[in-house]
């Protein structure tokens, strides 16, 4: 013991050093709990900020498609046909030889190098079939073109999938699809130009959009049907399911009717991006966006029903013929959604 200063006796610490302060176990547990709460509060905000950034990038992609369409129209005096049909000189049969609208207009946003060497008018040479042949080998070699403008950044499934009957060929999918109309009446067989959207079997143009360019949808989103897509409808992935079936469209709309077994299911939606088949590159407004309805190809009647769908919660991003881009709620009224899908339906003041 020793006396210091004011006479207060203090015990001399061993080795002459002060003991460093530290956390008790209780204090440490409290600190960890507080940090966990803060992380729990911040994580949704971070995720929301990331989704906002992805949605903005998606909207920019849609904007690029509308600009490409305008540039194409200025040069070609009209829109690309939704599908092209050529008559084979060899056997006289009519073949679907379509290139997608995406393939036709990408050169107009400085993304056309990949199409060099392909003649869009050479229908017989570039028949779009699933299997790779000597006729279309140049086309299939370009199916895995990795253009970022084809991909929504919120898509959480692989863009590249092994395609059936293609000798092990991989093809890229496409999240942006073009509007063929409402799929009402004659449906979406795109036969004889009877569909009512901006893109048809015969060439359309800005002049044919008598509803007005600000009232007419041209492009929206879809979700890819990845290799592990469900073979039967479920709560999360109805719109990722593709049905090759029979009967009527209504047979597959009501979840209570899901017991109807399709003839086959596949991974077609959005694949391959380069083909003009409706399931790969088109959508219609028969159902509202993000509807719990699979994509359907009804064999026999050859009608297709492929809706718009998005990985953005509650909305789809839509591009209009005037170049505007809007977020459309999945709760939009069906009659309003269909009105925006027609090119000449005489609707006015389509407001979302």
pLDDT digits over 73-100, tens only?
999 999 988 875 554 545 555 555 567 8
Residue 351 in any domain: the answer is: no
Torsion angle of alpha carbons 153, 154, 159, 164, nearest 10°? -150
Tens of pLDDT, residues 244-302: 777 777 777 665 555 555 554 555 788 888 877 788 889 999 889 998 777 887 766 66
Residue 35 in any domain: the answer is: no
Residue 20 in any domain: the answer is: no
Task: Please confirm whether the linkage preceding 178 is cis (ω < 30° from 0).
Answer: no
Residue 1 in any domain: the answer is: no
Residue 23 in any domain: the answer is: no
State the Cα–Cα distance between residues 103 and 269, nearest whole angstrom: 17
Residue 1: which pLDDT band, with cuts at 50, 70 and 90? very low
Residue 234 in any domain: the answer is: yes
**Nearest-CA neighbor of 266 among 293, 295, 242?**
242
Predicted local confidence at residue 26, as pLDDT:
72
Domain around 170:
45-341
Q: What is the CA radius of gyration of the chain?
A: 28
Predicted local confidence at residue 266, as pLDDT:
56
Supply the pTM of this predicted model: 0.80
What's the total number of domains in the chain?
1
Report which DSSP code applies to 124: T
Are the C-beta atoms of residues 2 and 9 closer than 8 Å to each other? Answer: yes
């Amino acid at each position: 013991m020793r006396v210091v200063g004011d006479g207060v006796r203090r015990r001399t610490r061993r080795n002459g050093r002060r003991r460093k302060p530290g956390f008790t176990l209780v204090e440490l547990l409290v600190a960890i709990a507080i940090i966990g709460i803060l992380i729990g509060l911040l994580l949704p905000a971070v995720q929301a900020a990331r989704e906002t950034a992805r949605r903005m990038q998606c909207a920019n992609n849609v904007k690029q498609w509308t600009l490409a369409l305008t540039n194409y129209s200025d040069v070609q005096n009209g829109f690309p046909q939704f599908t092209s049909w050529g008559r084979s000189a060899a056997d006289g049969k009519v073949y679907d030889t379509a290139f997608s609208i995406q393939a036709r207009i990408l050169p107009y946003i400085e993304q056309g190098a990949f199409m060099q060497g392909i003649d869009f008018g050479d229908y017989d040479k570039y028949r779009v079939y699933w299997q790779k042949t000597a006729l279309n080998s140049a086309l299939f070699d370009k199916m895995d073109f990795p253009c970022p403008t084809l991909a929504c950044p919120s898509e959480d499934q692989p863009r590249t999938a092994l395609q059936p009957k293609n000798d092990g060929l991989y093809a890229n999918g496409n999240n942006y699809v073009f509007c063929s109309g409402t799929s009402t009446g004659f449906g979406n067989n795109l036969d004889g130009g009877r569909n009512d959207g901006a893109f048809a079997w015969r060439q359309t143009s800005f002049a044919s959009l008598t509803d007005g360019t600000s009232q007419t949808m041209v492009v929206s989103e879809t979700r890819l049907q990845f290799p592990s897509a469900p073979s039967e409808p479920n709560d999360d992935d109805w719109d990722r399911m593709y049905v090759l079936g029979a009967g009527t469209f209504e047979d597959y709309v009501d979840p209570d009717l899901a017991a109807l077994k399709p003839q086959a299911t596949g991974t077609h939606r959005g694949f391959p991006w380069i083909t003009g088949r409706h399931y790969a590159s088109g959508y219609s407004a028969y159902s509202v966006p993000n509807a719990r309805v699979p994509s359907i190809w009804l064999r026999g009647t050859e009608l297709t029903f492929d809706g718009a769908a998005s990985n953005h919660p509650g909305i789809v991003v839509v591009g209009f013929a005037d170049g505007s881009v809007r977020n459309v709620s999945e709760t939009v009224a069906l009659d309003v959604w269909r009105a925006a899908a027609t090119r000449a339906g005489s609707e006015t003041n389509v407001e979302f």
